[in-house]
Structure 1
């Protein structure tokens, strides 16, 4: 018995030429080009922080996500939040044979199952500002805990959303403060010159920041020192909810968003992210007011690499400014904690001793307490600890810990 395997005939009829014309118009190429907003989006995705793109309809938010997913080689699942019900995110109850014994699981939707099977991907919630409050409430666990019904999405799944300002959204709503505070907010605009060149068939390609594994320990320590030092100097910026509904639906500082800023800064340091992209991501996490102050602080911080200092503490000179001293000493302790050995621990005390010699032991007091708490019971007390003995005895930090 033979089987006819001939290829299907090419489409014919009055629309064949029109279909060919549309195929030719879809052909495009990309070229390297500076695009800070695309780089900021890629940085937030690299740092695995939920990101929300704000922009007017029709300016390429969805196209940007498709381009990013292609550049990362990740599957893209698009979910139009405004046309779903809360149960689509909380899960639908499925009654089994004996619910009194097994309970009633909440069945996840098909897009969540596909992402779980793939183990990675981009989950894109579109039209978020058109979703009613009940749907926004159901999305809270998805964005923060990655839980969809009874299914937990893999950690490698990145979450991105897009929204139109309420004034231009279909039946637009302000985002609820709990949901807004779970995102890095980025303004998405269009460049007329980029659009004009795109109409000619050439669009900018996405530059994905690549984290350098060799820079990770130093980047984490530097970021911890910078954020902790800044919040120590500006405690009033740790948490501040704006007074009006529109501002509460955007970015504002809270312990959650400062942790997001910490991860963005560490990823930016480790990947060598551009200054404009990093600035956009940080202000998108904690808001314009706190973000601008943080950027000014970082611009004048210029912390030395803590690992290099620990390798040769005698060659190190303590920064002159108090805020830089505090941030650097916090970074040194964070670097030691990430790779705790006796030589590095002792080198840390040599660094802190320079704060005593400089006449500013109070700046190093917190760092000294943290460093003393890392001591193993069989490690001797180093000479550099002398200037902190009274403080450490009061805190009980000299008792040490077991291995």
Structure 2
């Protein structure tokens, strides 16, 4: 036989006391510190928030998207307004019609919900649209004006309000939907993942501090000019990238290239340049706005914008400073050889060989093989092989290649 021992019930005041103690314990658990810490995700997020662009955080459930937004609002001293998109009706975003005294002359105003009124009264805040991927298509359509025009019913959200959303991939969302292309194209999409070290240190009571980027006032004009030149240079050379709507439903619900998203990209590059942001953060922002393919092309184009002028290198090869990164160094050497091909002269040919020797002595020798072979093919019959070529021995047999190339050219001409 099982005997149950009944514990005496606590007096009411004793129960209240235990709840107070429990409250103290909860308060202690809620006390956390923040510290400056390099975090690419936070850097990209705060840059987009500073640029006043809607951001959509994609991540699996429980990854910390909501916690990151809460901490961001506290760090920026912005009141946080959370709206679960999936539990609202379309009218909660487009406004409820309210019949006035004389609808025939005054029309029917669209009354906004209380959370929008509170944001307007505060004049600033962080509007967090959570569970966006569980919102049905009708609600997504109603959100278009909120995200792009910042209007909720008849109210216009003040400039001090920033919009951030969060979503789970459809495979892990409860009754999830793919985002409609018009809504998806209005966001900067950031993939939110957990960092093991950040999580462990955070559970110990210290999380990374989210802070707005420090913009250099003296570089604002140059940052805008650089951003416009970066995007326009690429699109002038690759006009097909201006508008590329993906063919699959899933990809249309993410980042893809359009005139709207390219305009957002210009803004992000300007802010990242003025803030001297890391390249990893800029990469996340660009790819999260126009997609991976166009984003990588733009990043490559930006890298090459600051490369030295081949003509300047040929004019003074002794003072040349070649890029350290292998892909950029390869691009510079290819540009030098192309410049010699456009205007083949003995002095320029010799200067190009000096640059190749410099490249071998200061970097990976294998990068010189293709430019050296191409340069050797440009030799004229009356051009002596410069002594500098001997310093490339063991990397590529350029002296022999030059002779063979000259013979092949002569044979082609004789045909």
Q: Normalised by the size of structure 2, how large is the TM-score?
A: 0.70
Whether contact under 8 Å (1:129, 1:173) holds in the other structure is yes
What SS does the aligned partner of 1:73 have? coil
Q: Deviations over 1:260-311 (max 9, x none)?
A: 000000011111112111111111000011101111111121289xxxxxxx
User: Which residue of 267, 286, 303 corresponds with 1:299?
Assistant: 303
Which structure carries more relative contact order (alpha carbon 8 Å, separation 6+)?
A: 1
1:242 maps to which residue? 246
1:22-41 equivalences in 2 (<5 Å)? 22-41=26-45
User: Which residue of 85, 88, 92 corresponds with 1:84?
Assistant: 88
**Does the alignment pair 1:140 with 2:136?**
no
**Does the alignment pair 1:115 with 2:92?**
no
* Change in CA separation of 1:319 and 1:128 when aligned onto 2, cut-off 3 Å: farther
**Does the alignment pair 1:175 with 2:179?**
yes
What SS does the aligned partner of 1:279 have? helix
Instruction: Mark the structure with the bigger radius of gyration.
Output: 2
Q: Distance in 1 between matches of 2:84 and 2:214?
A: 30
Whether contact under 8 Å (1:184, 1:284) holds in the other structure is yes
Q: Distance in 1 between matches of 2:211 and 2:305?
A: 27
* Change in CA separation of 1:11 and 1:257 when aligned onto 2, cut-off 3 Å: farther
Q: Distance in 1 between matches of 2:14 and 2:116?
A: 37
User: Which residue of 286, 290, 310 corresponds with 1:286?
Assistant: 290
1:252 maps to which residue? 256
Whether contact under 8 Å (1:76, 1:123) holds in the other structure is yes
User: Which residue of 181, 190, 193 corresponds with 1:189?
Assistant: 193
1:206 maps to which residue? 210
Q: Distance in 1 between matches of 2:273 and 2:156?
A: 30
Q: Normalised by the size of structure 1, how large is the TM-score?
A: 0.72
2:54 maps to which residue? 50
Q: CA deviation at 1:154?
A: 1.5
Q: Distance in 1 between matches of 2:310 and 2:191?
A: 41
Q: Distance in 1 between matches of 2:312 and 2:54?
A: 36
1:227 maps to which residue? 231
Q: Distance in 2 between matches of 1:111 and 1:135?
A: 17
Q: Deviations over 1:76-102 (max 9, x none)?
A: 211110100000000001111111111
Q: CA deviation at 1:226?
A: 0.9
Q: Distance in 1 between matches of 2:14 and 2:296?
A: 59
Whether contact under 8 Å (2:76, 2:211) holds in the other structure is no
Aligned residues: 303
* Change in CA separation of 1:227 and 1:19 when aligned onto 2, cut-off 3 Å: same
Whether contact under 8 Å (2:44, 2:281) holds in the other structure is yes
CA RMSD of aligned residues (A): 2.2
Q: CA deviation at 1:110?
A: 1.1
* Change in CA separation of 1:173 and 1:227 when aligned onto 2, cut-off 3 Å: same
Q: Distance in 1 between matches of 2:312 and 2:233?
A: 14
Q: CA deviation at 1:42?
A: 0.3
Q: Distance in 2 between matches of 1:241 and 1:148?
A: 28
* Change in CA separation of 1:279 and 1:85 when aligned onto 2, cut-off 3 Å: same
* Change in CA separation of 1:155 and 1:16 when aligned onto 2, cut-off 3 Å: closer
What SS does the aligned partner of 1:269 have? helix
Whether contact under 8 Å (1:222, 1:303) holds in the other structure is no
1:344 maps to which residue? none
Q: CA deviation at 1:318?
A: 8.3
User: Which residue of 65, 70, 77 corresponds with 1:73?
Assistant: 77
Q: Distance in 2 between matches of 1:14 and 1:158?
A: 41
Whether contact under 8 Å (2:58, 2:168) holds in the other structure is yes
Structure 2 residue ranges without an equivalent (≥5): 1-12, 314-341, 344-415
